[in-house]
Structure 1
Amino acid sequence: MPARRMRGQRAGLTRQAVLEAGLALVDREGLQALSMRSLGSELGVEAMTLYNHVSNKDALLDGLVEQIIVSVAPPRLEASTWRAGLRDFAHAFLAALLAHPNVIPLVVSRPATTSLNLRVMESALESLRAAGFPVHRALDVLYSVTGFVVGHAATMTVQHASGQEAHDRPELLLEVDAEEFPLLSAAMRASPPAGAQNRFDFALEAMLTGFEATRTSAQEPCRTAPEARR
């Protein structure tokens, strides 16, 4: 066991090291196990030492959300298409959330408002604006994609915890009465079960297609009122 150190005696301890240790602790033992005392023990320091790097427990929790967001920060899209950039971000974000399922409740409940998270958003908005989105619509795009991904990850996590398969146990739906539920029965028999990942891809592509229509509309030249009535 590492020797106990008084406040300020841990050489080289940084905010990033504190957040990484906090994330590892939550991954291993769950959110309920995270406290300043338990994290200090994890790092081999007194709990008070941590306040040199995170101001309080809320700042620590916000930092854990930051760790997830920054790890999959939306790329600047100039080197790619905006659709490819958002698609890659959505898949990377989903993978990161599923790799840290104990942090998902924090991502759901805490806005990503640390300075680093805000810089990530600023960069993404700049790229989307360069791709033709008005800045307010670009923010809608970011919120829509992140909300969709978080919701999907939360659903998959709950299903896994309850023992359900990722394809939502379609074998039960295949047994529905075809006379009472003809459309559901026909849909389930028309093709193999899509699975959660395929449904994610389908919905994501539908969203991107809708965003494209918004972007195209935003790029159309404005007409004066008399011209618009013709």
Structure 2
Amino acid sequence: MWARDAARRRPKLTREAIVAAAVGIADAEGVDAVSIRRVATELGARAMSLYTHIERKEDLLDLMADEVTKEILIPGELPGDWREAISAIARSTRAAMRRHPWLAEVVSRRPGVGPNALRHVEQSLAALSDPRIRPEWRPSIVSAVDDYTLGFVIRETLRRETPARYGWDPGERDAFIRSFLGEPGVAEEFPNLAPLLAGDAPRAADADADAADDEFERGLRWLLDGMARDLLPE
């Protein structure tokens, strides 16, 4: 009797609940841990019951990616200056991808065509509504900023996860490379790399979150400086 009553009081299974549970699993354990069966277990439901809402895992991944893409959207009005506006979107993109490291992997192998992905593209194009920027240039600018941001996040995610995944940190990596460069005749083959690894401390961007922020902002500024020089009239 009590079991039947508990079953009747079980919260109704919804697509939103399924996606939220899957996002939680991916955030904690990585996207490979996500499966229909695992999500069902998390929700206290039978796997077959999820198939009334989600037909296959690939659909679930698309829904997950689009759900967290909502976090990228800038609320309210964008800054009036195109550089400030597109920079705000790039920072928001990086922040969301740092909260959900699996997102970079999913969007790199599946096209983002959900409503929030489209809203992100629309907002990015709106950020470039400066009349001096020709409309046909705007998609290329958006792609370049997205590519820079995605590449940066992938690299810093690897930096952050390498110790846990592979058992060594950036300082140990650099020490290994230095020992290789110290072999007779090897350093001469890498005259530009060897000076970067002099000393025992890991590079600042590997060791300090503030340094990574500075590195991101500097690279973004270089990218936008180049665009401004190349695309905008004097």
TM value normalised by structure 1: 0.72
Give 3-state SS (helix, strand or coil) of 2:128's partner. Answer: helix
Change (3 A) 1:124 1:64: same
Structure 1: stretches of 5+ with no match in the other structure: 221-230
Structure 1 counterpart of 2:139: 139
Structure 1 counterpart of 2:57: 57
Structure 1 counterpart of 2:97: 97
- CA–CA separation in structure 1 for the residues paired with 2:176 and 2:37: 48
Conserved 8 A contact 1:98-1:157: yes
Deviations 1:136-166 (A, max 9, x none): 3221122212222222222222233243339
- CA–CA separation in structure 2 for the residues paired with 1:200 and 1:170: 25
Structure 1 counterpart of 2:209: none
Deviations 1:164-214 (A, max 9, x none): 339x849966x968x94665566678xx94525133222111111122234
CA RMSD of aligned residues (A): 3.6
Where do residues 75-90 of structure 1 align in structure 2 (5 Å cutoff)? 78-90=78-90
Conserved 8 A contact 2:22-2:64: yes
User: Offset of 1:23 from its aligned partner?
Assistant: 0.6
Amino acid at match of 1:195: A
Where do residues 45-194 of structure 1 align in structure 2 (5 Å cutoff)? 45-74=45-74, 78-130=78-130, 132-159=132-159, 160-161=161-162, 162=166, 163-165=168-170, 169=174, 180=188, 193-194=203-204
Structure 1 counterpart of 2:205: 195
Conserved 8 A contact 1:72-1:89: yes
Amino acid at match of 1:115: P
- CA–CA separation in structure 1 for the residues paired with 2:72 and 2:203: 29
- CA–CA separation in structure 2 for the residues paired with 1:203 and 1:50: 44
How many residue pairs align between the two structures?
211
User: Offset of 1:106 from its aligned partner?
Assistant: 0.9
User: Offset of 1:20 from its aligned partner?
Assistant: 1.6
User: Offset of 1:75 from its aligned partner?
Assistant: 5.8
Give 3-state SS (helix, strand or coil) of 2:45's partner. Answer: coil
- CA–CA separation in structure 2 for the residues paired with 1:87 and 1:65: 22
Give 3-state SS (helix, strand or coil) of 2:133's partner. Answer: coil
Identity rate of aligned residues, in percent? 27
Where do residues 208-219 of structure 1 align in structure 2 (5 Å cutoff)? 208-217=224-233
User: Offset of 1:76 from its aligned partner?
Assistant: 6.8
TM value normalised by structure 2: 0.71
Give 3-state SS (helix, strand or coil) of 1:129's partner. Answer: coil
- CA–CA separation in structure 1 for the residues paired with 2:85 and 2:129: 13
Change (3 A) 1:182 1:26: closer
Conserved 8 A contact 1:19-1:63: yes
Change (3 A) 1:169 1:156: farther
- CA–CA separation in structure 1 for the residues paired with 2:31 and 2:7: 24
Structure 2: stretches of 5+ with no match in the other structure: 1-5, 207-211
Change (3 A) 1:46 1:187: closer
